[in-house]
Amino acid sequence: MMLTNPVNISFQIPPADSLAREEILGKLRFLSDHVELSWRLKGNVFSGGKGKMQVIDLLYGEIEHVDLVKKWFKIRQIVFRVSDPRLLAGIPAAEMGKLTMIIDDRSREEAKKLHGLIDFKRSIFLFDAQEERLKAMRKED
């Protein structure tokens, strides 16, 4: 499977508190060599406006698992897990390297492209890392 165009998925993460102080809006961009996670806090009465846009670049090797959650035959959520929880430490809704994102209605078609993309990109990353280790071992001999 070759990726020519990036897969863009808009999402939201509902607030954990009843005052809606930490509602998150964002976009996941699955690019050819990494994943770009852009997010900001949605503005409300208590915070006085929109939050600043934050961007986190993640290599495919740092992504542990992406699970698409369906409800009534439509993809509704993405459960996104990374291997190192510190990568998502600045995001209020992150729980030990895991984010549960509600997919925007307009992004559901794009989300269907993710079924094999992550596993494919991760396998390429792991293969390249193995090749580098083998090259280093050959140079030592």
- The answer to whether the CB of 67 falls within 8 A of the CB of 75 is no
pLDDT one digit per residue (tens) for the chain, 141 residues? 444 578 888 888 888 776 667 788 899 988 888 889 998 888 665 555 667 888 999 988 888 888 888 888 877 888 888 988 899 888 888 888 898 888 888 877 777 777 667 667 777 777 877 888 888 888 876
Positive/negative CA dihedral, 98, 102, 106, 108: positive
Query: DSSP E strands: which ranges in 1-141?
Result: 7-13, 24-30, 34-41, 54-59, 63-71, 74-82, 98-103
Say whether domain 7-140 belongs to CATH 1.10.8.60: no
The domain segmentation of the chain, as residue ranges, is 7-140
pTM value > 0.85:
no
